[in-house]
Structure 1
């Protein structure tokens, strides 16, 4: 239908579909909304954490095949960002992948998506915090386990306090930290191009295995570092003009991160000899030292990593509370997760996420293998919301739930299929152990779903006339 969006028997004008859920007065009372710069900063800040500062050294052990894998991964990430843009325009409600899955496939698919993302958010926060500790210790040297735990807990609870203070403070903090970490990294990426030496790059396949094996080793690392591209979709109701800015921020954020990853990795590969790079704990510091000389660059890059990590933790702490809040409003999570302070902060979700991340942090220091398990596990659980989002877009295109021109239909379907393949690749690259653990934890969510439904006296599906505004139907 021209000039409208239609789904589940309800037709809305585009103006109505794009309308924010709250008026300006409500915005003011809830701490304001995020504009396009802050929304894009949220995407970039959540994608670019501490991992980029070690990524070149990890990829050097695999070989320059990593650049081909990075290019292919970028195509999948951009396709998924375009899918988020299309879905965000049609369903401009907080919850992102949860809202899209529930709108297309019903409440149980929505619950599994929300549950999976929630696991990703607080589990991934623990992983970021553990990596962040290493850079803080460049200056503090608290090398005992209690010292590392104290630093990690500070890294988790400082962002929690910022999130409790309201969305306006979150946006300002995220924008500042994103600029502070993005500028030095892109500086290394651009300036390093003038210092490249062909002899530094090393072999195409340095893994010692087949090309197939090397490619998937690289993919397992690269796919995970794009986690967070969905950030802005989950807080759509906190974005100014979400029907437009959710998609724009997603695409701009992914494009910016793709350029950063490619340029920075290329610069480090070409300025640090391969044999030295594979054993480096600070590849960016080594690269800058080789370009300009001097010993103070390690401290500068460690400071960048600290800023990068705390910015990522701040953004992910927002998401760890927003997803269950959106689900709680629809009766899919316990009602306490849906309550907010006068500043609009979902206090239960923030505190619960910080506590669970803290417990995961403690477990990572209790077991040598727990940290790697956390990262691979988070990679798998990330793929579930991506898969359902791409599938939701494909569903509406194939069934005619969304009316578009033939040319746009073919283009959107191609993007949805690429995004689906991208999701499958993340699952495959996570490895057998992570997939098994992830499936088990997903199944744990089913009793939670039953308990929540029973507590509300609901014994069947709930009718939804419009995403985010369900009407209960008891049987």
Structure 2
């Protein structure tokens, strides 16, 4: 990312960067790189092995979800244009339209998504580290040690400062695109039709195949909202948030589809299903079985994963920081270094992700851990998406709206599609993921109770009017009397 001072022509109502010194803001190029870097991580290097289990129908599913993600990006841009204080993105939209509690739930759920998503990225990253260093049949403790390294290196980069984080992000985005472009373009000259599996290779119904593909496909597009979440750090966010979201998502979508389909044609279907490092086999098909080919691909995937984790580590701290400034998250999350790094949020989020990795590796290894963490992330992110879409819908059907005619029909279609998309995403994640995500959601409610009481004591919000203890008969007299019909004889 190229970081520069805000342009002097920036709109006056644009929020300043979070550090307040006016020097660490993201332009359109850097904001787009943040979106691309957050969307494309090591998940794309593992995704073909999961999609192959569904068959070639998974490519169509990937395309449908790409369209849904782009529409979300358009909607986030629309919301940023009209919400006065859009720091925190999805959190700000929900709070603006539905109040503090909805804003808190959005921030809470997205925070879970962020650190659970980091854990999922790391579980995929571990597979390529093992391939790079030829680690065969690793123990859970080996997997956990590698995973912790992958979590804490980006945390250290973010703690150093936003400039260093942005520089590392730009380098990793370039490095991750090189092998993907090679496979997505050159790889098609080596594709064999016989390698593609059946349209439905799930062994069950087509609905089952769609369910297999949908979870990992949606997880691969989580990150479309990153520019909106970091809106306080984006130059002219009313314009650049929407542009960066759409441009970054569209570029990622084209690359995903081209690369995933190419890998399916490069690696025989039987060898691809459940393969945790399919790009190694794909490159060896193209350039021969030389050991250096696989090592080069694995090394690139490792750097790509660190780049994605670098961007997501900032996001895990940025959402709760925005909520904490408003008193809707633990106040410690608002603490930053002089360089602008939200150090408390970075440390706590990384610790929680580390604990989740320890839990995940305690019972499983390999691609199973990745799939489990993907499902959890998908459900928890569907809730903030749904809140944001409903916030836009509430505005459109209210008397406050300023859009009419074709623009009204367009915006209603985008908001409605986003709502249905969010519901479908949660539905396809599976019962276990929904159950566990609901537990995490419920844990946040008593925390909100303490936060609300704290805000009342400080006078930040009005206290609810309670019934005086002396007036015990007020409730009975105030309540409307209902005529109770006597029972019929013989009843």
What TM-score, normalized by structure 2, do the two folds share? 0.87
Q: 1:76-115 residue pairs with structure 2 within 5 A?
A: 76-91=68-83, 93-115=86-108
Q: 1:209-288 residue pairs with structure 2 within 5 A?
A: 209-278=204-273, 280-288=275-283
User: Structure 1 299/185 Cα, relative in aligned 2: closer, same or farther at 3 Å?
Assistant: same
Which of 294, 297, 311 does residue 315 from structure 1 map onto?
311
Q: 1:18-57 residue pairs with structure 2 within 5 A?
A: 19-21=14-16, 26-28=21-23, 32-57=24-49
Q: Is the 8 A contact 1:201 1:274 kept in 2?
A: yes
> 2:301 matched to 1:341?
no
User: Structure 1 21/83 Cα, relative in aligned 2: closer, same or farther at 3 Å?
Assistant: same
1:222 and 1:25 mapped to 2: Cα distance?
37
1:448 and 1:145 mapped to 2: Cα distance?
33
- Following superposition, the deviation at residue 185 of structure 1 comes to 0.4
Q: 1:301-380 residue pairs with structure 2 within 5 A?
A: 301-368=297-364, 372-380=371-379
- Following superposition, the deviation at residue 383 of structure 1 comes to 0.4
User: Structure 1 347/448 Cα, relative in aligned 2: closer, same or farther at 3 Å?
Assistant: same
Which residue in 1 is equivalent to 2:201? Answer: 206
Q: 1:165-176 residue pairs with structure 2 within 5 A?
A: 165-176=160-171
Q: Is the 8 A contact 1:196 1:271 kept in 2?
A: yes
- Following superposition, the deviation at residue 370 of structure 1 comes to 6.0
1:22 and 1:288 mapped to 2: Cα distance?
42
In structure 2, list runs of 5 or more residues that go unmatched: 1-9, 465-491
When the two structures are aligned, how many residues end up with a matched partner? Answer: 448
C-alpha offsets along residues 128-174 of structure 1, whole Å, 9 cap, x if unaligned? 22221221222345634443333222211111111112222221111
- Following superposition, the deviation at residue 176 of structure 1 comes to 1.1
Which residue in 2 is equivalent to 1:450? Answer: 449
Which of 162, 168, 185 does residue 180 from structure 2 map onto?
185
In structure 1, list runs of 5 or more residues that go unmatched: 1-13, 463-470
What TM-score, normalized by structure 1, do the two folds share? 0.89
C-alpha offsets along residues 235-278 of structure 1, whole Å, 9 cap, x if unaligned? 11111111111111100111011001100011112222222322
Q: Radius of gyration: which is bigger?
A: 2
> 2:59 matched to 1:63?
no
Which residue in 1 is equivalent to 2:284? Answer: 289
Which residue in 2 is equivalent to 1:427? Answer: 426
C-alpha offsets along residues 6-42 of structure 1, whole Å, 9 cap, x if unaligned? xxxxxxxx9444x2335997123xxx11121221111
> 2:192 matched to 1:197?
yes
Which residue in 2 is equivalent to 1:437? Answer: 436
1:359 and 1:330 mapped to 2: Cα distance?
28
- Following superposition, the deviation at residue 79 of structure 1 comes to 0.8
Q: Is the 8 A contact 1:364 1:371 kept in 2?
A: no
User: Structure 1 22/301 Cα, relative in aligned 2: closer, same or farther at 3 Å?
Assistant: closer
Q: Is the 8 A contact 1:38 1:172 kept in 2?
A: no
User: Structure 1 141/197 Cα, relative in aligned 2: closer, same or farther at 3 Å?
Assistant: closer
Deviates more, 1:393-402 or 1:352-361: 393-402
RMSD: 2.1
